[in-house]
Amino acid sequence: MIKVILENNKIEVSGHANFDDYGKDIVCASVSTLVISTINNIIDVDEDSILYEENDNKIKIEIKNNNEIVKKLINNMVLMLESLEKDYPKNIKILRR
């Protein structure tokens, strides 16, 4: 299961959805695309607004400058992840701390 932990100005995404075989998993592909696209878009707008770290099956994002554009991009990512959680509750879980 993919776990998304939302805590203040930090987001952590880890795990594997196990919806299908590795390389065919549409839930993992969707989450990866959402998270990486959001990171890339934020960096395009303001490269100093976030710090991120990617290791194995984990991505950590720390929001340093939560300006209006960054807020909108993060909120959009969270809304899309919530939609995936609703459609695939056995494969993705969002935790708010």
pLDDT tens string 41-81: 999 999 999 999 999 889 999 999 989 999 999 999 999 99
Task: For residue 72, give its domain range.
Answer: 2-96
Return the CATH number at 68. 3.30.70.1490
* Total tally of structural domains belonging to the chain: 1
* Mean pLDDT within 76-95: 98
**Can you read off the two tokens belonging to residue 65?**
């400058």
- pLDDT reported for residue 57: 86
Going by the DSSP 8-state scheme, the letter that residue 61 receives in this structure is E
What's this model's pTM, rounded to 2 decimal places? 0.94
* Pairing relationship of beta strands 50-55 and 2-7 according to DSSP bridges: unpaired
CA pair distance 52, 39, nearest whole angstrom: 8
